[in-house]
Amino acid sequence: MRINFGDLVIGDIARDRIKKALDKNWVTEGKNVEEFEKKFAKKFGYKHAIATSSGTDACIAALASLYEFGAKRGDEVIVPATTFVATANAVLAAGFIPKFVDIELETLNINPRLIEEKITDKTIAIMPVHLMGKPCDMDRIVEIAEKHDLKIIEDCCEAHGAKYKGKYIGTIGDMGCFSFYVAHVIVAGEGGMVVTDNDELANIVRSVKTHGRPTGSIYFDFQRFGLNQRMNDLTAAIGIEGIEHFDETFKKRKENMYKLLEMTKDLEKYAYFSHEEKYETISPHAFPLVLKDSKYNCNKLYKYLESKSIQCKTLFGSLPTQHKAFEFLHYKYGDFPVAEYVGENGLHFGIHQYLSTDDLVYIHDSLIQYFKNVK
């Protein structure tokens, strides 16, 4: 692929730390993980950062901590209908039921105006997803959560460094969850992080991610539900390098985002593109677009871009009605019209730091050529 979705380049900082870990014959959670947690917390102003083996595990650990506050198996967590599947799967894995809410077309995020109608006496939390790095309407979500005494777990997996009204995402709710998959701004290959400013929650999450043991204990004293969700020291070494280079990576990706948004202004009659409000900072995760009319045929566009060596992914679609995995929840097509429309008419591709201006021009020209030929 000329335009791949993301890339991982392992530099000298990571290689040196990996070598030291190998020389010590210690690759499980150790000094590198501890350093990664400290650097991540300091960089973004989180009081606690707890490393996990993946972004999915970060979400599961955060959700599982809710049992400490009276949650019961089978309780419900509000999630957007459009998100990467890990959000909803984490809810299920933690023992809860995802309660889906439709999204806004203009933001691709959960529609806060529809949240309250989905709240029941079994609802325990809201899990907003800052999709494509664009912050959710957190003022309204916090207002709803406080009114109904619900916890907020922010899914920030695609939103490293994003801000909402001057605050880093992950600091607004009770907890935030991050992923360090190869397509993200901070990359470790795999790995995740739970962040919180709450001491009690931090201790519970640290326990959950090590089989429910007390924090710091290696003995068989299991006090709560837990799993093995620890990050290893090799992954953490790569993540540390990602933090060291965060500012330049973020800047380059943001420049790519702005350039491509400017280039695609002549395509706004064909598609909806992302828009950054004055009160927010979008994290430059990827470049989404949603066709304004299904006659432009998203499937053909997808295949066309792939034939041009531009790697694409769909915009997830409506998890409850367009993915077989959630049939058991008995939603029906039409329950989430915006999410379903986005699922049939949306896609996204990379704008990462290794792309040049020539690459961006190539993307734009490829899009132009496609729409010129649409009948």
Write the DSSP symbol of residue 278: T
E strand segments, 230-330: 271-273, 280-281, 287-291, 312-314
Q: Evaluate if residue 217 carries a pLDDT over 80.
A: no
% of residues, the chain, pLDDT over 90: 95
Are residues 186 and 256 both part of a single domain? no
Retrieve residue 168's tokens: 């880093």
Are residues 290 and 266 both part of a single domain? yes
Q: Evaluate if residue 42 carries a pLDDT over 70.
A: yes
Query: Residue 367: enclosing H or E segment and its boundaries?
Result: helix 357-372
Mean pLDDT throughout 33-47?
A: 98
**Residues ≥6 apart with Cβ < 8 Å to 11:** 241, 245
CA 335 vs CA 91, 101, 343: distances in Å? 20, 9, 13
Give me the number of domains the chain comprises.
Answer: 2
**Residues ≥6 apart with Cβ < 8 Å to 181:** 6, 54, 55, 157, 187, 189, 190
Q: Evaluate if residue 175 carries a pLDDT over 70.
A: yes
Are residues 30 and 95 both part of a single domain? yes
Confidence of residue 306 (pLDDT cuts 50, 70, 90): very high
Are residues 229 and 254 both part of a single domain? no
Confidence of residue 77 (pLDDT cuts 50, 70, 90): very high
Domain end marker among 244, 272, 298: 244
Are residues 290 and 357 both part of a single domain? yes
Confidence of residue 315 (pLDDT cuts 50, 70, 90): very high
Q: Give the pTM.
A: 0.96
Domain that holds residue 198: 12-244
Mean pLDDT throughout 187-199?
A: 96
Are residues 293 and 210 both part of a single domain? no
Model pLDDT for residues 142-160, shown as the tens digit of each residue: 999 999 999 999 999 999 9
Are residues 135 and 194 both part of a single domain? yes
Backbone φ, ψ for residue 320 (5° rounding): -75, -20
The pLDDT value given to residue 190: 94
Are residues 192 and 313 both part of a single domain? no
Task: Note whether 112 and 90 are within 8 A (CB).
Answer: no
Are residues 252 and 200 both part of a single domain? no
Domain end marker among 210, 244, 278: 244
% of residues, the chain, pLDDT over 70: 100
Are residues 127 and 41 both part of a single domain? yes
Write the DSSP symbol of residue 90: H
CATH number, domain at 252? 3.90.1150.10
Are residues 250 and 267 both part of a single domain? yes
Q: Evaluate if residue 375 carries a pLDDT over 70.
A: no
The pLDDT value given to residue 20: 93
Mean pLDDT throughout 81-97?
A: 98
The pLDDT value given to residue 215: 79
Mean pLDDT throughout 340-348?
A: 98
